[in-house]
Structures are given as structure tokens and as C-alpha cells.
């Protein structure tokens, strides 16, 4: 509507147009939408962050060649956003301050400042373009300083004395004389490859083909840098503005196109192309050094065996989750539940193969000991009969007891389903009439006043 | 002329035999793991357990948790390519590493995979069998369909990894591409003279099915610390041994 501008009072605006529809501003929703838009923009650069209430900041260092040149990038950004129904202006400059100023006060909707041309480009812009408080802008204007160029000849000290530090600081930042730290929305990835589709693609084959191409590009670059990827993410930008993402991880750094492809292949069906995908970006979110020797190219059989194992673990983990995989290691604890610790499947176990061969331990251990009804003639004797899961077992032979004391120094050692106070257990190995061999225990020390509680904990071969 | 034709015929026959052996997955160089117990090894056409193939082991104990079948399997794994890892796919996490160590299976070789269902276990087994890195793959599976067994057997042949399907409970046996099917149950132990308590644990081991061999059954002493079972002299005279090599005494469904 002609004459209506941001910051105007509702009454003033209504005076201009009485039919105006007024709605409360929802700043939180605006910010959320801006963040979403920033994410959408990461097709142009992996380094994106919302900036203020109405801006998005991109570090396009090293990205422009993917779009022809910087002008091409700026133009594409504006037209792509326009297709989303969002009116946007873009500027690319050496400094954040200059890009901010030019995107808001520049003459065209998409412009670029050549390297070293910032001073020149800012000369004619109003002082408001320096990201200053409105009062400071008003003060400068009262002093007759309308354009940024008019500030150039003024001594910094005099400027600071009259108008505060912010003018000098903002000016220096815009001109690149003072550093300005940037904080990206996501940590800057090291490597990525990007593919723009001339025609939106929607078929599984086309997506697969595009991904293969991206993988080849990326693994080539990883190879040049002597790196291997630990985590790769694929972002597919749909024409309706949604972004489909899949992530794969590897246990060891890899730049084996075939291996990485197999990991993605498993998940590729998760990508819903909707009406079509226009851009695909493959990013190495995490990389590690990977030399040719580590790849097993030196013919080391043991090493190639370990890469084979890593490749297998990756495939299993990418489908079932890393938590589904574990390697048991024995640990010096008498508490059966604590006798095994689980480590990552490719971690090197530092423990001995066994710690006490004299101790007979079951081959299956119930995750929680199950209460049983047991009939024992004397407190310190094994039961003659016990009932577990509605079935009675008559005990023919028994060994024991082996008293396993609670690790009293551990406050958290809850012994199975017993009370929270640590209590000792008297374990018996018993054999029923059919020959099945069980591991039972009586919880706690014998106490004449209470009925002893018995549990079944494990099974022997 | 006739001699030349005979030579050609012989050569062709030899080719054909080799082809059939390879098609069955047993090339001349196919590796075999002997049990080290002559009574068992002699009942197997390969004088031991053929590697790079699929085997089924059924727990015939009273409950799913019974330890005899799993320990029998652990004894085999302990002696099978001891430098390489074993992928063990299961749904219920009740395998206890200290117990495995008692039959010589180094827990550090184990990679445990907990899967949400049997479909994923079969998928993971196939992946594992195709990976050269492993010595063996174990899957705790209740129902193994014929096509699934065929897939696993082919995968085992392709990379030389040995596969074991461990049936935690006795299941209805369908036609299977597995090379052998075993059934193991605990037997009452034999008391040691003069000592109270549980004696030497024993098992009933049945070879239900064996490609190119005949069903058989043995009463054995449970695995020792090196993973060997033994048909002891004292047991050898027991009636159960009559089953050895007698066709038809043990039906597949048991």
C-alpha cells in the first residue's frame, strides 16, 4: 500500500487506508520463519545464519563458482526466493557491514561489490545503512552528516566524542578496518559438493544417479586432501521449499565411493521428492585424516580385514543404529550384572580374555533375576524344588553356595529386584531331573523372621 | 581311437565332478573344522563341520533359555578361525560373555547385534556372511524359511564365512538349504565318584540332517575349556550310542 511503511503507527496507516487489515505482530513466529528460510538458503553456502529480524547472512567464500560468479549467485538467490513468494534483496561484499548496507539501501535488488570496492560503494548510502541506533542516526543528520562518504574524512576520535563509539566501530567494520566475528547457524563443514538439476527430478533412479555423481565429486576432493568422511549429510531441496535430509555415519573415516554409496542406498527411499527436487547438496559434516596406508593399499591383510569389519559395522549401524551393536568385555566385578561392560563395536578391548576360569558362570543370564518359589529344607541349603514360570523343577544335584557380596562401596549397586539397600546373594548351581542346569540365588543373609526370597538368574550348558 | 575317447570321457567326468562339488559349495579346498571326536567326525561326510556354509542348531531344552545348544555352538566358534570376530545377532540380550569364555570363546571376538525382529536378523546375517572380516555369523532365529536359508547359504559360500542359525526353541523344521541341522539338549550329569553336587555335564547331540550324510546321535560330555566335546569311554557303552549311523531311527521332526 502506497505510503505505508514499517514502524508507522496503526492510526497513521489507517488514515491512509481505512480498509487496512491489522494483525498483531508475532515476533517469535517471524524469527522461526526466518530460521527456516536460512536453512533453505544453505543450498547457496553451507555457512548460513539469520541476521537481525529480517536478514539472512551467508558466507559465500568459495561458493560463487558453483553459480558462475558472485553476481550469478546473488541473482539466483533473489529469483529463487521470489519463486517462493518472498521478496528479497541480496548484496555480496567483502564485509558483513557493507553487504548489510547494500542489501537494504543499494540501488538494485541483487548487487555485488568487487574486491576492494567497499569504500566506493558505500559513499552515497545514507548513514542509517551503518546499522546504528535511530537516535545516533538522528544525531548525525542534525550534524549535517547525511551520507556515509561524509564520515570518511572526519577524525575517528572526534566522531567518537560527539556521537559515541558505535559510529566509528560500525564504520570500521563496514570498511573492513575492524574485525567482526561471525557465528554460523551450523558449524562450518569442511567439504561439500552440490548439484543443481536443470529439470526437477523425482524418480528414485534420477536421485540415485545425482547422489552417485555427488559422491564421486566429494570423494575425489577428500582424496586430494588426504581425508576420509565420518559423517555425510545429503540435503535434497524440493521445489515446494521443503528440504529432505539423510545422514550416514561411518565408524572409521572413509572415502570409498562404493562403501559410502551402499550406506546411502539403504536410506535413499526415505527421501520424498514431492513434486521434484531442484538442488542436491552432499556435505562432509565430519572428516578425519585418512592416508593411503590406512586404506589397506599397502597390502596389509590385517588392516584390510579391519577395514572390511568397519565397512560391515557401518552398514549394520546405518540400518539398525549404532546402539544396536556392541562388543562385550569382561570387567572385574563379582556382581554378575556388572561382570560385562559393552564397548563400541570397533573399540579395542583392553581387558584380558577371562578373569577367573575357576568361577562357573552361566552362558545365558536373565537381564533381571526372576523371582521363584523355592522349597529349601534348611536356610543354608539349596532348594529341593522350585517353581519358575508356572513350571516345577525338582532339584537332583546342587553346588554352592557361592556368596557374592554387594559392592558396598557403590551406593548405586541395586542388586536386581531386591530392595535398594545392597544385599549379598547366595548363588547355587542346580540341576533338575531332566538335566537342565540353572543358576539360582537366595537374596540377603538368612533371617529367621522372614521368608527367604529366591531368584533365578541364569542358565548353564 | 577308443583310448582317446576314453581319456576325453574321463576328463569330462572329472570336470563334471568338480563342477558339482563347487555347485554344492564344496570345492576341493573347502575348509573343514573337525570336532576332534572321531565318533562325530566319522558321521560327517567331510570328517568335520564344513566351513563357508550354513548350519542350524536347535535347542531341545525345556526352555528357550537352556544353555546346552548355545554352549555347543560356542564350543564350535571357539575353535573356528580364532583370530577373527564373530557377529552374533539376537533379539533378547541374555547372552553372557563370562559363560562363553568358559568354553574358550574369547568374548573380545564377539560383536553383538541386537535387532528388533527376525527380518532384521536375517538381513544382518546376510550382510555379515558376505563380509570377509568375520569368522562366523550367528543368528538367533525361530523360523527360518526355505528361501531365507537359501539366501544365507549362498552368502556363506560367497565370502567363506560360516553361518549358524540358532533356534532357541524346537521349531517345525522346513526344507532348508543349510548343510547340517543339529539338536542339542542337556542330559542329567554323571556324578563324579566320591563328590557331591553336579558332576560332569552331558548333552544329547543329534545330527538331524546332513547333506550327503546320515542322521546320528551321541551322548557327549559338555564342551571343555577349549570348546571340545567328548564321547567318553564311560559313555561310549551307553545304549544311546546305538544311534550312530543308523538311518531312520531319528526322524527330522524328532
3-state SS of A259-327 is HHHHHHHCCHHHCCCCCCEEEEEEEEEEEEECCCCCCCCCCCHHHHHHHHHHHHHHHHHHHHCHHHEEE
Residue A212, phi then psi, degrees to nearest 5? -60, -40
Domain membership flag for residue A129: yes
Query: In terms of domains, do B19 and B36 share one?
Result: no
Domain membership flag for residue A157: yes
Domain membership flag for residue B253: no
Domain membership flag for residue A3: no
- Unique residue bearing C-alpha cell 545304549: B239
A38-47, A382-391, B139-148: segment of lowest average pLDDT: A38-47
Give percent above pLDDT 70 in chain B. 85
Question: Which pLDDT value is given to residue B248?
Answer: 36
Domain membership flag for residue B13: yes
Given its phi and psi angles, is residue B245 left (phi above 0), alpha (psi -120 to 50 degrees) or beta?
left
pLDDT tens across A23-55, in order? 888 888 888 888 888 888 888 887 888 888 889
pLDDT tens across B174-204, in order? 889 999 999 999 999 988 777 788 888 999 9
Domain membership flag for residue B249: no
Query: In terms of domains, do A49 and A118 share one?
Result: yes
Higher pLDDT, B211 or A409: B211
Among chain B residues, CA nearest to A344 = B111
Using CB atoms, which residue from B94, B97, B134 is nearest to A328? B97
**Which three cell numbers mark A114?**
568487487
**CB of A451 closer than 8 Å to CB of B58:** no
- Residues in B touching A357 (Cβ below 8 Å): 101-102, 225
Query: In terms of domains, do B12 and B41 share one?
Result: no
b/e code B217-237 from CB counts within 10 Å (16+ = b): bbbbbbbeeebbbbbbeebee
Give bridge partners of residue B185 from the DSSP assignment. B204
Among chain A residues, CA nearest to B226 = A357
Q: In angstroms, rounded to a whole number, what is the distance separating the alpha carbons of residues B208 and B57?
A: 10
**Which three cell numbers mark B7?**
581319456
Query: In terms of domains, do A400 and A297 share one?
Result: no
Query: In terms of domains, do B129 and B208 share one?
Result: yes
DSSP A125: S
Q: Is the peptide bond before A97 cis (omega within 30 degrees of 0)?
A: no
Question: Which pLDDT value is given to residue B246?
Answer: 37
Q: In angstroms, rounded to a whole number, what is the distance separating the alpha carbons of residues A308 and A231?
A: 18
- CA triplet B106, B108, B114: central angle to 5 degrees? 110
CB contact under 8 A, B108 and A354: no
Among chain A residues, CA nearest to B102 = A357
Residues 329-358 of A with CB under 8 A from B: 329-330, 336, 339-340, 342, 345, 349, 351, 353-354, 357
Q: At B125, which CATH number?
A: 3.40.50.300
Those residues whose C-beta lies under 8 Å from the C-beta of residue B20, and which sit 6 or more positions away, are none
Question: Which pLDDT value is given to residue A216?
Answer: 94
Give percent above pLDDT 90 in chain A. 24
Domain membership flag for residue A369: yes
Number of domains in chain B: 2
Number of domains in chain A: 3
Query: In terms of domains, do B20 and B93 share one?
Result: no
pLDDT tens across B207-253, in order? 999 998 999 999 999 988 888 998 865 554 444 434 443 333 333 33
**CB of A70 closer than 8 Å to CB of A94:** no
Query: In terms of domains, do A35 and A166 share one?
Result: yes
Query: In terms of domains, do A269 and A307 share one?
Result: yes
Residues A267, A268, A270, A273: what is their CA dihedral angle, to the nearest 10 degrees?
170
- The alpha carbon of residue A10 is apart from the nearest alpha carbon of chain B, in Å, by 60
Range of the domain at B11: 1-26
Query: In terms of domains, do A61 and A162 share one?
Result: yes
CB contact under 8 A, A436 and B61: yes
Query: In terms of domains, do A168 and A267 share one?
Result: no
Residues 140-159 of A with CB under 8 A from B: none
CB contact under 8 A, A357 and B74: no
- Unique residue bearing C-alpha cell 520424498: A272
Using CB atoms, which residue from A311, A363, A430 is nearest to B74? A363
Domain boundary among A265, A297, A320: A320
Residue to substitute from A363, A396, A398, interface B, most B β-carbons within 10 A: A363
A114 at the B interface (CB within 8 A)?
A: no
Query: In terms of domains, do A36 and A163 share one?
Result: yes
Those residues whose C-beta lies under 8 Å from the C-beta of residue A247, and which sit 6 or more positions away, are A231, A232, A233, A234, A285
CA distances from residue A164 to A139, A154, A156, A179, A381 in whole angstroms, order as listed = 11, 14, 10, 19, 89
Is residue A341 predicted with pLDDT exceeding 60? yes
Range of the domain at A211: 191-320
Residues 378-397 of A with CB under 8 A from B: 389, 391, 396-397
Query: In terms of domains, do A160 and A210 share one?
Result: no
Using CB atoms, which residue from B108, B133, B222 is nearest to A308? B133
Query: In terms of domains, do A170 and A207 share one?
Result: no
Average pLDDT of every residue of chain B: 85
The secondary structure of B119-144 as a DSSP string is HHHHHHHHHHHT-TT-SEEEEE-S--
CB contact under 8 A, A363 and B70: yes
- Residues in B touching A386 (Cβ below 8 Å): none
Among chain B residues, CA nearest to A369 = B94
A460 at the B interface (CB within 8 A)?
A: yes
Query: In terms of domains, do B17 and B115 share one?
Result: no
- The alpha carbon of residue B47 is apart from the nearest alpha carbon of chain A, in Å, by 25
Q: In angstroms, rounded to a whole number, what is the distance separating the alpha carbons of residues B112 and A310?
A: 14
Residue A335: CB atoms within 10 A of its CB come to 18
Using CB atoms, which residue from B95, B131, B197 is nearest to A398? B197
Query: In terms of domains, do B3 and B78 share one?
Result: no
CB contact under 8 A, A354 and B65: no
Question: Which pLDDT value is given to residue A297?
Answer: 44
Residue A209: CB atoms within 10 A of its CB come to 13
Query: In terms of domains, do A171 and A305 share one?
Result: no
Domain membership flag for residue A43: yes
Query: In terms of domains, do B163 and B208 share one?
Result: yes
Domain membership flag for residue B251: no
Query: In terms of domains, do A160 and A209 share one?
Result: no
Query: In terms of domains, do B67 and B190 share one?
Result: yes
Amino acid at each position: 500500500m502506497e505510503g505505508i511503511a514499517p514502524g508507522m503507527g496503526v492510526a497513521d496507516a489507517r488514515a491512509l487506508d481505512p480498509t487496512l487489515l491489522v494483525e498483531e505482530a508475532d515476533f517469535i513466529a517471524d524469527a522461526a520463519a526466518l530460521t527456516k528460510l536460512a536453512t533453505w538458503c544453505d543450498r547457496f553456502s553451507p555457512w548460513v545464519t539469520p541476521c537481525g529480524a529480517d536478514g539472512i547472512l551467508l558466507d559465500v567464500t568459495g561458493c560463487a563458482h558453483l553459480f558462475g560468479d558472485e553476481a550469478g549467485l546473488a541473482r539466483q538467490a533473489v529469483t529463487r526466493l521470489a519463486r517462493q513468494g518472498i521478496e528479497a534483496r541480496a548484496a555480496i561484499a567483502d564485509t558483513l557491514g557493507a553487504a548489510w548496507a547494500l542489501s537494504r539501501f543499494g540501488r538494485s535488488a541483487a548487487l555485488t561489490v568487487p574486491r576492494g570496492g567497499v569504500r566506493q560503494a558505500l559513499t552515497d548510502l545514507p548513514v542509517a545503512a551503518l546499522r546504528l541506533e535511530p537516535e545516533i542516526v538522528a544525531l548525525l543528520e542534525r550534524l549535517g552528516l547525511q551520507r556515509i562518504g561524509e564520515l570518511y574524512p572526519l577524525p575517528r576520535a572526534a566522531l567518537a566524542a560527539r556521537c559515541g563509539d558505535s559510529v566509528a566501530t560500525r564504520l570500521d567494520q563496514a570498511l573492513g578496518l575492524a574485525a567482526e566475528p561471525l557465528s554460523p547457524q551450523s558449524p562450518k563443514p569442511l567439504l561439500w559438493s552440490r548439484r543443481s538439476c536443470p529439470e526437477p527430478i523425482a524418480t528414485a533412479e534420477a536421485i540415485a544417479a545425482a547422489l552417485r555423481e555427488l559422491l564421486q565429486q566429494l570423494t575425489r576432493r577428500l582424496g586430494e586432501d588426504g581425508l576420509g568422511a565420518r559423517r555425510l549429510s545429503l540435503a535434497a531441496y524440493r521445489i515446494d521449499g521443503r528440504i529432505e535430509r539423510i545422514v550416514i555415519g561411518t565408524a572409521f573415516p572413509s572415502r570409498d565411493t562404493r562403501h559410502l554409496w551402499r550406506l546411502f542406498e539403504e536410506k535413499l527411499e526415505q527421501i520424498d521428492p514431492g513434486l521434484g527436487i531442484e538442488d542436491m547438496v552432499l556435505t562432509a559434516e565430519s572428516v578425519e585424516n585418512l592416508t593411503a596406508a590406512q586404506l589397506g593399499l599397502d597390502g596389509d591383510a590385517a588392516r584390510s580385514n579391519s577395514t572390511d569389519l568397519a565397512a560391515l559395522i557401518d552398514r549394520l549401524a546405518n540400518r539398525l543404529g549404532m546402539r544396536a551393536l556392541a562388543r562385550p568385555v569382561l570387567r572385574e566385578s563379582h556382581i554378575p550384572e556388572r561382570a560385562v561392560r559393552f564397548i563400541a563395536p570397533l573399540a579395542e578391548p583392553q581387558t584380558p580374555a577371562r578373569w577367573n576360569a575357576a568361577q562357573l558362570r552361566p552362558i545365558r543370564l536373565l537381564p533381571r533375576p526372576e523371582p521363584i518359589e523355592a522349597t529349601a529344607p534348611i536356610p543354608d541349603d539349596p532348594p529341593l524344588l522350585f517353581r519358575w514360570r508356572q513350571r516345577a523343577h525338582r532339584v537332583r544335584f546342587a553346588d554352592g553356595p557361592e556368596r557374592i557380596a554387594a559392592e558396598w562401596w557403590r551406593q548405586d549397586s541395586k542388586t536386581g529386584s531386591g530392595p535398594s539397600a545392597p544385599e549379598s546373594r547366595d548363588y547355587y548351581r542346580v540341576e533338575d531331573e531332566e538335566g537342565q542346569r540353572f543358576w539360582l540365588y537366595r537374596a540377603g543373609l538368612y533371617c529367621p523372621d522372614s521368608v527367604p526370597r529366591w531368584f533365578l538368574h541364569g542358565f548353564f550348558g | 581311437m577308443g583310448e582317446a575317447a576314453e581319456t576325453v570321457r574321463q576328463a569330462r567326468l572329472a570336470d563334471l565332478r568338480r563342477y558339482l562339488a563347487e555347485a554344492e559349495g564344496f570345492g576341493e579346498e573347502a575348509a573343514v573344522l573337525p570336532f576332534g571326536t572321531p565318533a562325530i567326525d566319522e558321521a560327517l561326510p567331510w570328517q568335520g563341520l564344513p566351513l563357508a556354509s550354513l548350519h542350524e542348531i536347535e535347542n531341545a531344552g525345556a526352555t528357550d533359555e537352556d544353555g546346552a545348544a548355545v554352549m555347543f555352538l560356542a564350543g564350535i566358534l571357539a575353535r573356528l578361525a580364532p583370530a577373527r570376530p564373530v557377529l552374533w545377532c539376537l533379539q533378547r540380550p541374555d547372552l553372557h560373555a563370562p559363560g562363553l569364555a568358559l568354553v574358550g570363546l574369547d568374548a573380545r571376538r564377539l560383536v553383538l547385534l541386537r535387532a528388533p525382529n527376525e527380518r532384521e536378523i536375517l538381513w544382518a546375517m546376510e550382510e555379515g556372511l558376505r563380509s570377509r572380516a568375520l569368522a562366523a555369523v550367528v543368528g538367533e532365529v525361530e523360523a527360518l524359511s526355505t528361501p531365507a536359508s537359501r539366501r544365507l547359504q549362498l552368502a556363506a559360500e560367497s565370502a567363506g564365512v560360516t553361518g549358524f542359525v540358532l533356534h532357541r526353541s524346537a521349531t517345525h523344521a522346513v526344507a532348508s538349504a543349510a548343510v547340517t541341522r543339529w539338536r542339542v539338549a542337556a542330559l542329567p550329569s554323571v556324578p563324579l565318584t566320591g563328590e557331591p553336587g553336579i558332576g560332569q555335564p552331558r548333552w544329547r547331540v543329534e545330527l538331524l540332517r546332513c547333506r550327503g550324510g546320515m542322521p546320528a546321535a551321541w551322548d557327549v560330555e559338555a564342551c571343555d575349556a577349549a570348546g571340545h566335546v567328548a564321547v567318553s569311554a564311560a559313555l561310549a557303552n551307553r545304549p544311546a550310542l546305538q544311534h550312530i549311523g543308523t538311518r531312520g531311527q531319528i526322524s527330522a521332526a524328532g
